[in-house]
Amino acid sequence: MGRTSRKRRRRKRLNFVKLNENTDESLTHLKSWLLSENCTSIRYLIPKHFSLSGRGLKTLKRIESDEILLQLPLRMLLTTDVLSQSHIKTLFLYTTDKFSPQCMLAIFLVYETHLGIESKWYLYLKTLPQSFTNPDFCSNKEKAMLPNFISRPLYQTHKLQEDFSLLMKIIKHMDVDRSHCPHCNVYLQKIVTFAKYKWAYYVVNTRAVYVDAKVCKENTFNIKQPNNLALAPFLDLFNHDVNAAVKVSIVTDNYQNQFYQIVTLKPFDKETQVFINYGAHDSLKLYIEYGFFIPCNPLDEIQFNIFDIKRCFDISRNKLDFIIFNGFHKNMSFTHDGLNYNATMALFILSTKLEKDRWKLKIYGETFDTEERSIINKLGISVLNLKRTKYMCALNNMKNVKSKSLSFSIAINLIEEYINILDAAFNYMEKLKNVILY
């Protein structure tokens, strides 16, 4: 009788009135559920599909600066504490192996999704995207064609296969009682497949927020620290804008209820999309972590290194040692406005005919004369042309691929964006060179 009663209540809970005919039904259900769970701050926000940013949130009223955007009860956050209340916790209880919070939350999502409507989190799970556009979702053939600046951080960041193999090893050695799902008696090895795990991993990767480790009190598991990740229903509907500014905190009301709170530091007009800021991320970071990028991102820079310089001209050991000792070789890059500081200093050292005892005086105490700036610019343009040629070669090869994945198409757009930045840098440096010559 108890199960029948729960099912009856669940059917009633799903019978919500649609708030907007253009809004996905699952998002409407999620909002109604959260409103019933004391998340009243979202009552003026409605999910909507925007032509440029996709799924997002529109405000039905003007939002002022320092106004609350979201106040989500802490009990509605999905953390490792929540995992400890699920049967899937058995995967992590009897092992000395350490797993990251991201891996553990991914496994939790796989298992709870398997439970379907029986999961407490069903209404949230139904709103999660089924596909992603991170570079890891390019085909193997496409991945092989990605330029190093994309593929290098991709393979350094994610160890999906290693974690999954370790999880399968644990499942294989579990006793019979724990290795089956009590909900349907299906073997866990059939529930936790690699495809499902990869999907869930990227749900966490693209949607988790950082919280104070004190919020995640769970100490039953052998977790890789810091244990500071949480999934926040509805919060993941806010899209990123580099110009948005928010303040995030944990607050307590007069009844000792705790909330995860986001306050906007900038206003939003009525009937407009509401944004938050994911952090100071350049386009490469946004693509790797979230599967998108922002054209004309002011944080974008095209980095180059000593090896790029060596391909253009010789570097003496003495000058190279000085550059490395002073850290000028780190983060050398081109921006829309030409060379950044470290690149300028490194190229000055490489091009100067001054004695070594004058280098620091020149760098820290004097300005470069017109001839020095002209030479620095000339060397910079040589490196820039090298980078541009490499990007154009990669771009042309990638464009020839037929039946491209969406992930791969975004990578093509990102390379085109990088070429635009190099062109802007070239134009700036050419203009500066002409001014110097004049």
For the chain, the average pLDDT equals 88
Output the pLDDT for position 308.
94
CA 342 – CA 101 distance, rounded (Å)? 37
Output the pLDDT for position 328.
95
Which of 223, 187, 196 minimizes the C-alpha distance to 112?
196
| 66 residue type, one letter | D
Output the pLDDT for position 436.
54
pLDDT exceeds 50 at position 15: no
Q: How many other CB atoms are found less than 10 A from the CB of residue 220?
A: 12
CATH no. of 302-437: 3.90.1420
Which of 108, 111, 56 minimizes the C-alpha distance to 79?
108
Is the separation of the CB atoms in 43 and 63 below 8 Å?
no
pLDDT digits (tens, 9 = 90+) for 105-142: 999 999 999 999 999 999 999 999 999 999 999 999 99
Output the pLDDT for position 433.
66
Domain with CATH 3.90.1420 in the chain: 302-437
Q: Place 366 in a pLDDT band, splitting at 50, 70 and 90.
A: low
Output the pLDDT for position 225.
83
H/E stretch holding 45: strand 45-50
Is the separation of the CB atoms in 415 and 394 below 8 Å?
yes
Is the separation of the CB atoms in 343 and 312 below 8 Å?
no
Q: Which two tokens stand for residue 92?
A: 């992590």
Inter-CA distances, 5 with 8, 12, 85, 268, Å: 5, 11, 22, 44
More confident residue, 365 or 54: 54
Prediction pTM value = 0.86
Which of 242, 431, 426, 435 minimizes the C-alpha distance to 335?
426
Positive or negative: CA dihedral 298, 303, 309, 311: negative
More confident residue, 213 or 383: 383
Q: How many other CB atoms are found less than 10 A from the CB of residue 410?
A: 20
Is the separation of the CB atoms in 368 and 376 below 8 Å?
yes
pLDDT digits (tens, 9 = 90+) for 18-35: 333 334 789 999 999 999
149-171 core/surface letters (b: 16 or more CB in 10 A; e: else): bbbebbeeebebeebbebbbebb
For the chain, first and last CA: distance in Å? 90
Place of tokens 């496994």: 107
pLDDT digits (tens, 9 = 90+) for 309-349: 999 988 899 999 999 999 999 999 999 999 999 999 999 99
Output the pLDDT for position 120.
93
DSSP letters spanning 211-239: --TTT----SS-BPSP--EEB-TTGGGSE
Range of weakest confidence among 58-67, 185-194, 425-434: 425-434
pLDDT exceeds 90 at position 93: no
Is the separation of the CB atoms in 47 and 237 below 8 Å?
yes
Q: Place 161 in a pLDDT band, splitting at 50, 70 and 90.
A: confident
Q: Place 277 in a pLDDT band, splitting at 50, 70 and 90.
A: very high
pLDDT exceeds 80 at position 383: yes
Which of 172, 161, 180 minimizes the C-alpha distance to 111?
180
DSSP letters spanning 308-332: HHHTTS---HHHHHHHHHTTTTTT-
CA 394 – CA 146 distance, rounded (Å)? 7
Output the pLDDT for position 164.
92
